[in-house]
Amino acid sequence: MIKRLHHTGFVVRDLDEAVSFYRDVVGLEVQRQYERTGPGIDQVIGYEDARLRIALLGAAGGDHILELIQYLNPPPAARGSEERSVLGGAHLSLLVDDIQAVFDKLSKNGAQIMNPPTDVAPGRTACYLQDPEGNWVELMQLDE
């Protein structure tokens, strides 16, 4: 039986830059950084002699983790498509209090605007951006 959602993972080109964006711009807290190698991780990800740099970040008081992974070996391949509708496409959704303020902050600090904040249903405003690595981030504001 599933107990809860644990984490969302993004593969990034440069771990230090990605950590800087999610820590300094988005406001997540770095919980841990480490390297992972060995037969166990080789088997899990399906590559021999894999070497990964990993950072775990989270929101204060939250229990969902963002895992940023930089593949040192094997080197990462470029994404095949930037389309939202591509199979396997994913995003990280952040619940915010002031969507316009967060949207402005992220877009001024390296995030690519995909659409401005828009009312998608009564009491629900959302927008999509891409982080500097091209990963999709949704901002969502729910009126209470």
Report yes or no: 33 and 117 within 8 Å, Cβ to Cβ: no
- Residue 31's region, left for phi above 0, alpha for psi from -120 to 50, else beta, is alpha
CATH of the domain at 135: 3.10.180.10
Domain that holds residue 35: 7-73
Predicted confidence (pLDDT) per residue in 62-74, tens digit: 889 999 999 999 9
Q: What percent of the chain has pLDDT over 90?
A: 77
Would you say residue 86 lies in a domain?
no
Would you say residue 130 lies in a domain?
yes
As a whole number, mean pLDDT of residues 96-106 equals 96
Q: How many structural domains is the chain composed of?
A: 2
Tokens at residue 55, please? 């950072």
Q: Are residues 13 and 63 in the same domain?
A: yes
